[in-house]
Amino acid sequence: ERIPAAAKKLAAMGAEAIELTGTSLTFYKGEAYNQQLRKIVTEASGLRATTMSNGVIEGLKAVGANKVAVATAYNDEVNDRLRAFLKEHGLTAVVVKGLGIEAIKDVDNVTQKDLIEFGARVRASAPEADSLLVSCGGFRTLEIIAPLEAKTGVPVISSMPHGLWAGARLVGLSGAAPGYGTLL
């Protein structure tokens, strides 16, 4: 219920487009709800809008993903919702493993080294995967995308960097960030 007011405020401050962050917020109730959230933001602000989940899906499709290994911060229930969301977009989650984090503040306890090791283990458990998704907008992942790609041999898509990539594209920018993985 706070989203429309926040969208109006951003528009009043001069925003040209809005990205609604929070991966699980935007995928948890499925694609129809994700679209509804975008519509709410657009109607409240008069601006183009996307979500972090749109960025993830667009990123996966841009690298040609079909069979995705998924490393998350989430518990099993949220992981099941993410698996269903990916399926709605024609993607197969061949493995989904989470760290079981339920309090957003606890993502700060996960280091980038931890994420590289965890992501590599998840990918190794699914050799048929053609990509790796690291899902949680609270994870600091920009700097680990290229090293994780080197370690796993597949393109890596992650919530915040690729959500922002989608947002940049809404205002006519490429979203490119050379040195930060295959897509960026």
pLDDT (tens, 9 = 90+) of the chain, 184 residues, equals 899 999 999 999 999 999 999 999 999 999 999 999 999 999 999 999 999 999 999 999 999 999 999 999 999 999 999 999 999 999 999 999 999 999 989 999 999 999 999 999 999 999 999 999 999 999 999 999 999 999 999 999 999 999 999 999 999 999 999 999 999 9
Q: Which residues fall within 8 angstroms of residue 85, CB to CB, at 6 or more apart?
A: 27, 28, 30, 31, 34, 53
pLDDT at 104: 87
Rounded Cα–Cα distance for residues 184 and 182 (Å):
6
Cβ 82 vs Cβ 135: under 8 Å? yes
Structure confidence by residue, pLDDT tens digits, 116-152: 999 999 999 999 999 999 999 999 999 999 999 999 9
pLDDT at 34: 97
